[in-house]
Every structure is written in C-alpha cells, then in structure tokens.
Amino acid sequence: MTYFSTAPNARSPAKPAKSAATFNALKRDIMLGVLPAGAALTELDLAAHFACSQGTVREALLQLQEEGLVRRQGHRGTQVSECTEAEAVEMFRVRLQVECSGIVRTLQAPSRTLVGDLKALFAEMLDAAKVGDELELASFDRDFHRRIFQDAQLPALDPILHRCLVHNHRFKISRSITPRDLVATAQRHGSIIEAIESGDVARASAALRHHIATIVDLGPDVFPDATQ
C-alpha cells in the first residue's frame, strides 16, 4: 500500500523530530479512518513518503504498537489494528474500573495544582471543540483524564488507561455517522471538575462513573446501572 497523508498533527511543535512527525501523522490518519483496519504499513514506503530512514519509521511504528493502533507480525509485516465493538466494550469496562478506583485515591491527597490544571485543559478542550477539531479535542480529553489519575500515584496503570482512552476515542470517531456536538462533548467535563473541587469523594466518583458510562450509545448496555 502506498501511503499518502494530508493532515499534520496540530499539536506537533514547529520542527518536530522525524519520528514524532511520522508517529503523529500516522496516528491521526488511523484515528480518522483514513488508514482503515487491516491496511498494510511498509517501512520502505513510509520512509519514502516521510523522507526519513526506515529506522525512524520503525520507531514510529513501535510507538503505535504500544498504543495498540498497529499490529507488527514478523514476516507478515505491520497492519493497522482492528477497532471492534467487543474490544471497545471491554476497554470501557477496564477504564471505568481504573479511573473510578483512581479518583478515590486522588482525592485522598490531591496536588495543589490539580484543579487549576484541569480547568486549563477544560479550556483547551472548549477551544478545540469550537473550531471543530475533534482529534485535538480528544487529545486534550485524554490529558484531562490522565491528569486526574496522575495524583492517584499508580504510574504502572497509566499506560493501560492511556491505551483505553485512545481506543475509546477511535471507536467513537469511527462510529460517528453524523457530526457530533463537540462543544457539548467538551462541556461534559465541567461537572467532574466541580465535583473534584468540592472535595466530596462520593460525588467525584459518581460524576466520573456517569461520564464514562454515558460516553457512547452502547453505554446503557455495558453499564446498565448508569442513568442518562
């Protein structure tokens, strides 16, 4: 397959490292479905397209593999991973368990900067939503949830949470038939900040649980106890 990318990552620095630029471009196109599940990614073609070495491409592909966006299968090469409903459901369940356990620990000893950091990320989400940049919104969304979890002091679980968040967003974007209200999506995080700022552990946990359980239409089936 010959790869043609058209959209740079808006959050990349002005002069990113070649591997970062390659990773960001490939990730963007996988998340948007430009590169569909099963698409073959060859190091030689990618190196020619991005004007870089195969080693640089290999580094980017390894990063994508860590996020579960590609599968590297030895002599069979590298392919874009599947994005199935069954896998999405299990990742929503794992995410709910990790985040809701984490927020209880976070509120036992929250850092002084937690609320301020969340409000800053919330503002970034709103800005991205207002200009219609769904991928930028999703990126700040992941930063928002991982910032809460950071104060739980469970660093070994952060990569698991990150992978779940990436796949949650990929699933939502790939299943979107009509344009979503991105501003409304961003605003859903406001109640989580308010609950955390109140210091009420039960309220914060409930707000986060409801947020995760009602993200997509399959939520009521996956989390039947959640209220819309």
Residue 20 CA: distances (Å) to CA of 6, 40, 95? 16, 20, 26
What is the CATH architecture of 85-222?
Up-down Bundle (1.20)
What pTM does this model have?
0.84
Q: What is the pLDDT along the chain (228 residues), one digit of tens a residue?
A: 445 444 444 444 434 588 888 999 999 999 988 999 999 999 999 999 998 999 999 999 999 999 999 998 877 789 999 988 899 889 999 999 999 999 999 999 999 999 999 999 999 999 999 999 999 999 999 999 999 999 999 999 999 999 999 999 999 888 777 778 899 999 999 999 999 999 999 999 999 999 998 876 555 566 666 544
Distance CA 54, CA 76 (A): 17
Rounded distance between C-alpha atoms, residue 132 and residue 62, angstroms: 30
**What is the fold, at CATH topology level, of the domain defined by 18-80?**
Arc Repressor Mutant, subunit A (1.10.10)
Q: Where in the chain is the domain with CATH 1.20.120.530?
A: 85-222
Residue type, 135: L
CA pair distance 72, 219, nearest whole angstrom: 31
In angstroms, the CA 21 to CA 131 distance is 23
- Laid out side by side, the sheet with 70-72 consists of 40-41, 78-80, 70-72
Where in the chain do CATH 1.10.10.10 domains reside?
18-80
